[in-house]
Structure 1
Amino acid sequence: MFRLTDFTYEGKTVFLRADLNSPVKDGKITSDARFRAVLPTIRYLLENGAKLVIATHQSRPYKEDYITTEEHAEILSKLLGKEVEYVEDIFGRLARERISSLRSGEAIILENLRFSAEEVFYKPLEECERTFLIRKLAPLIDYVVNDAFAAAHRSQPSLVGFARIKPMIMGKLMEKEVDALTRAYEKGEKPRVYVLGGAKVEDSLRVAENVLRMEKADLILTGGLVGHVFTLAKGFNLGDANIEFMARKGLLELVDWAERILDEFYPMIRTPVDFAIDYRGERLEVDLLSDEKRLFDEYPILDIGSRTIEKYREILLGAGTIVANGPMGVFEREEFALGTVEVFRAIGESKAFSVVGGGHSIASIYKYNIKGISHISTGGGAMLSFFAGEKLPVLEAFKISHRTFIQK
């Protein structure tokens, strides 16, 4: 795959596909984390004389955070200390004329890519390269740099469509992500521990099945709704309140799959031994084997308990490699953030090479100032797809582009 240092950029027009899709409240962006993550690539290109065209998506049609990229331009301008001009167009005449008039060291950002219908659908590379976006912009562009790791599991025109038309190059963030995830998956020191939590149960089951079958993991620790599904699969009753909630979420349908994974890899999958509930306004911890578990009929489980935290902590401190995705409970409520925070603290304190991903995971790491984690991934869904052994369309596009242009 091509890296930034493989090319020179003086006077060249570079299309930079970033992922600046950010949380929005009351019409305003509330986090600049993804902007900061892509700054090294932007600075490198501008300092090396590129004419820079930045493109990103923001949310999906009809959602509250589906906004223009005007504020994205303002945030980037402040962080860079130089203007990034907002262009209210994607591939129409206004955009094409502005791209053609760019000077070396200048940067613009195009309108929200998902304002174009072509960018909303997932299509094979061959169809993506026939879209108007690709056909209109390709003649104006010398190189494509892709730094949108968080969208690497998607196949859309701006992400894969240029691969056989222009050299497609990994940005610094993409390179860092791929190197870190590959190291954990392919070369990780034993014992290799995966921590799977949060609400993306189906994705987590795919990861568990793949890393255990491919002998990439020695132990899996579970929490959140992933832990609930495996706990039910082990034959424990989580009470009416929790089972009804899981039924509404469609999670009970996944219990049979979790059972099959347990049948094959039982000793390697650990589930919580105690849980925390909100009992009359206070955190109450209930052992799974105690008579108090009757409270699960009325009160939803909101976190793992202290005994589970201690068991997980001991395992994590002795790990050689750790991969973690998703919180252990409802970390947004401070009294039920304990499991998530303490598990991530243990990961930070461990001497292991560690990779942590997922939006909620990252939020808790920053909120509680947790240090020592080797790599914090910007892409939860892409990271889960990677560890599930799936081919990520953007990574495949890099390979195709390398094969296409290395011969020229």
Structure 2
Amino acid sequence: MKSTFRLTDFDFSNRTVFLRADLNSPVENGRITSDARFRAVLPTIKYLLDNGAKLVIATHQSRPYKGDYVTTEEHAELLSGLLGQEVEYVEDIFGRLARERISSLKAGEAIMLENLRFSAEEVFYKPLEDCERTFFVRKLAPLIDYVVNDAFAASHRSQPSLVGFARLKPMAMGFLMEKEVSALTRAYEHGESPRVYVLGGAKVEDSLRVVENVLRKEKADLILTGGLVGQVFTLAKGFNLGDANIEFMAKKGLLELVDWAERILDEFYPMIRTPVDFAVDYRGERIEIDLLSDEKKLLDKYPILDIGSRTVEKYRGILLNAGTIVANGPMGVFEREEFALGTVGVFKAIGESKAFSVVGGGHSIASIYRYNITGISHVSTGGGAMLSFFAGEKLPVLEAFRISYETFGRKLGG
């Protein structure tokens, strides 16, 4: 049963389309360092322009007071290069300058609004009704015919640009959004057994929600852990990770999650695998420490930066025999080559596996591209959004699509 509009449902010729993309990208020394998210939305942008839309592109970039909180001028430049046509940067969001430029757009033209988070209303998460009443939505809605949302990576947020137009204008999924939702739904609802979830990185709380949800709802057969997620479960299993690591975890506020991890283990113990060895930086070189060996005392002084080779081998065997794999987050500090062994080893095994695989999270994607890992069925552009999805939470943007379809479906013969 259809419950959302798709791009192909509408005639965009000479219509003004507000496209919410997520082009939030890593920035170093004031320059964007990855165009992965730009490439991901190109099919949607090309489709709209080829079909005669007057296109208004909007994205956020970082948050106030952070080093990568920059204007979208370079975003417009980068997109122009990839598209082979100008995307004009408009140094405004919903003020007179932006509104006049939107009104004067011609079919097949595209503009890029200023960083949405330069608007205070766009920094808070509010229910759809509140988003609808913002100046942002009230000023732009009269100028727009259709809304297309392709910002999957932001779909777990409820902000004016993401959900505010849902009851005011027909809102359709972009091609990227459709591809993401379809891959994640396939893994979650229809995944073939054995279904293995690999959870690493630093988003421990979100990962615990995923573990609890997929095991309780019988959507997963086995969970492999690494990164800080693996360390929290290792502590919960009763292993001592040494003073240096416990201190670090205390600073990060992770020790208070150990009780929750223990409760999950009480219920699902054999289904959750934790590392058997870890790698530390011992005077500038990688040294691996078996959790059951005497060398374990080194963990008092040296921080864990990766999972060890024995863990990688154990995980590899499981992944090569999986039917479905969902992975989020790296196994260690992969930015340092000697500590990328865990992340690269695990992701390579996922790529070699015959399983249908979904991998997401900004750091995961960065390591996949950096180490040329191939064979993964679907690389998701969203980390937090993907975790929310597998935690069984309702994503505000997916709800907004449904509401928009309910509001306009009959009128438009949907």
TM range (shorter): over 0.9
Match of 2:179 in 1: 176
Q: Post-superposition shift, 1:63? A: 1.3
Match of 2:240 in 1: 237
Match of 1:194 in 2: 197
Instruction: Determine whether 1:407 maps to 2:399.
Output: no
Match of 1:358 in 2: 361
Match of 1:166 in 2: 169
Q: Give CA-to-partner distance per residue, 1:293-318, whole Å, 9 cap, x none.
A: 11111111111111111000000000
Match of 2:64 in 1: 61
Opposite residue 45 of structure 2, the aligned amino acid is: I
Residue from 18, 21, 28 that aligns with 2:21: 18
Residue from 84, 87, 93 that aligns with 1:84: 87
Opposite residue 106 of structure 2, the aligned amino acid is: R
Q: Post-superposition shift, 1:64? A: 1.5
Residue from 223, 226, 238 that aligns with 2:226: 223
State the alpha-carbon separation in 2 of the partners of residues 166 and 278 from structure 1. Answer: 55
Match of 2:297 in 1: 294
Opposite residue 23 of structure 2, the aligned amino acid is: L
State the alpha-carbon separation in 2 of the partners of residues 283 and 384 from structure 1. Answer: 31
Report matched runs for 1:133-148 at 5 Å. 133-148=136-151
Opposite residue 37 of structure 1, the aligned amino acid is: A
Q: Post-superposition shift, 1:48? A: 0.5
State the alpha-carbon separation in 2 of the partners of residues 222 and 111 from structure 1. Answer: 39
State the alpha-carbon separation in 1 of the partners of residues 283 and 114 from structure 2. Answer: 49
With structure 2 as the length reference, what TM-score do the two structures score? Answer: 0.98
Worse overlay, 20-29 or 183-192: 20-29
State the alpha-carbon separation in 2 of the partners of residues 44 and 336 from structure 1. Answer: 42
Worse overlay, 66-75 or 261-270: 66-75
Match of 2:283 in 1: 280
Match of 1:44 in 2: 47
Q: Post-superposition shift, 1:280? A: 2.1
Count matched residues. Answer: 408
Aligned with 1:275: secondary structure? strand
Aligned with 1:76: secondary structure? helix
Match of 2:116 in 1: 113
Match of 1:379 in 2: 382
Match of 1:129 in 2: 132
Aligned with 1:123: secondary structure? coil
- How much identity, in percent, do the aligned residues show? 87
Opposite residue 409 of structure 2, the aligned amino acid is: I
Aligned with 1:354: secondary structure? strand
Aligned with 1:319: secondary structure? coil
Residue from 139, 143, 153 that aligns with 2:156: 153
State the alpha-carbon separation in 1 of the partners of residues 353 and 92 from structure 2. Answer: 48
The Cα RMSD (Å) is 0.7
Aligned with 2:261: secondary structure? helix
Match of 2:337 in 1: 334
State the alpha-carbon separation in 2 of the partners of residues 66 and 305 from structure 1. Answer: 36
Aligned with 1:153: secondary structure? coil
State the alpha-carbon separation in 2 of the partners of residues 65 and 294 from structure 1. Answer: 39
Aligned with 1:373: secondary structure? coil
State the alpha-carbon separation in 2 of the partners of residues 287 and 130 from structure 1. Answer: 57
State the alpha-carbon separation in 2 of the partners of residues 280 and 94 from structure 1. Answer: 57
Residue from 393, 396, 406 that aligns with 1:393: 396
Q: Post-superposition shift, 1:292? A: 1.0
Opposite residue 278 of structure 1, the aligned amino acid is: D
Aligned with 1:322: secondary structure? strand
Aligned with 1:169: secondary structure? strand
Q: Which segments of structure 1 move beyond 4 Å, counting only runs of 4 or more? A: none
State the alpha-carbon separation in 2 of the partners of residues 350 and 200 from structure 1. Answer: 25
Worse overlay, 109-118 or 153-162: 109-118
Aligned with 2:125: secondary structure? coil
Q: Post-superposition shift, 1:128? A: 0.4
Opposite residue 270 of structure 1, the aligned amino acid is: R
State the alpha-carbon separation in 2 of the partners of residues 60 and 233 from structure 1. Answer: 34
Match of 1:323 in 2: 326
Q: Give CA-to-partner distance per residue, 1:180-205, whole Å, 9 cap, x none.
A: 00000000000000000011000000
State the alpha-carbon separation in 2 of the partners of residues 357 and 192 from structure 1. Answer: 16
Q: Post-superposition shift, 1:75? A: 0.5
State the alpha-carbon separation in 2 of the partners of residues 92 and 301 from structure 1. Answer: 50
Match of 1:100 in 2: 103
State the alpha-carbon separation in 2 of the partners of residues 278 and 56 from structure 1. Answer: 39
